[in-house]
Amino acid sequence: MSAHPTDAPAPTTVRADGRAPDDLRPIRITRGWLDAAEGSVLVEFGNTRVLCAASFTAGVPRWRKGSGEGWVTAEYAMLPRATNTRNDRESVRGRIGGRTHEISRLIGRSLRAVIDVAALGENTIVVDCDVLQADGGTRTAAITGAYVALADAVAWGLEHGEVRRGAHVLRDSVSAVSVGIVDGAPLLDLPYAEDVRAETDMNVVVTGSGSFVEVQGTAEGAPFDRAELDALLDLALVGTRQLAAVQAAALEAPAPGHPPHPQSDAVAGDEARSVAGLA
């Protein structure tokens, strides 16, 4: 059963893929996808698939040395045939596009919102997010998967003595989801077919405890009013609560090369289920 904001009537619109307006696409997070990375995840939002690999490196950038604090950053890219028609690799073009830079920075900001860089110590974690197949919501899927890969990389650092034992590096979880107004109706988690028709579309990044990290919204057609904005944010909170529970369940389960996470290392178990309204 879908969850609904308490002050809003249950939506009745049925979408082309059979979902209700407040339903996520099928979500799957598979840990340990790569053998070499300290943390890796294949995250699937319906037909959108993103591979997230977190690399743990001792040391920090030059401008960070001596601070006692670590650094977390991210890079985002799409495979040439992630979309219906082939796109040249940006490395072949000779420059990284503005959209790629923007999304890379968004992922990095989202992860840094929930990590204690002092507890991380002078270590760097880089999360590479590569879109294998794009069907809308690639940046939100990347953020959601990147957090789980980051959690595994942090656990690796603790296990190998690179991070001080007992340090609480992760303060919360973080996930993201798209929302939009399509044919006058607020919808959650838009695939490409809905995204291209949206009068308003928005990407919302939220912590596991329900705080907003970033809200990116644009009216593609008519401007939206405050009531529509509130409806979209309510939908985003419904979606990210469910995503927090999916992340927690993924981290609780053993994965190749990765044991289940204790509660101190990631938002998991009863805490995440409570956040998700599933306890």
Q: Has 144 been labeled as part of a binding site?
A: no
Q: Has 138 been labeled as part of a binding site?
A: yes
106, 178 in Cβ contact below 8 A?
Answer: no
What letter would DSSP give residue 64? G
Angle at 243 between CA 241 and CA 249, to 5 degrees: 110
How far apart are alpha carbons 134 and 234 in whole angstroms?
Answer: 25
**What six digits make up the tokens of 3?**
């969850």
Q: Is 21 exposed, middle or buried (0-12, 13-18, 19+ CB in 10 A)?
A: buried
Q: Has 99 been labeled as part of a binding site?
A: yes
Q: Is 195 exposed, middle or buried (0-12, 13-18, 19+ CB in 10 A)?
A: middle
Nearest partner of 188 among 246, 235, 138, judged by Cα: 235
Nearest partner of 132 among 239, 17, 257, 41, judged by Cα: 41
**261, containing H or E segment:** none
**C-alpha pair distances (Å), 4 with each of 8, 14, 22, 104:** 7, 15, 7, 32
231, 248 in Cβ contact below 8 A?
Answer: no
How far apart are alpha carbons 27 and 47 in whole angstroms?
Answer: 10
Q: Provide the 10 A C-beta neighbour count for residue 185.
A: 14
Q: Has 197 been labeled as part of a binding site?
A: no
How far apart are alpha carbons 231 and 213 in whole angstroms?
Answer: 18
Indicate the annotated binding residues for phosphate: 99, 137-139
Indicate the annotated binding residues: 99, 137-139
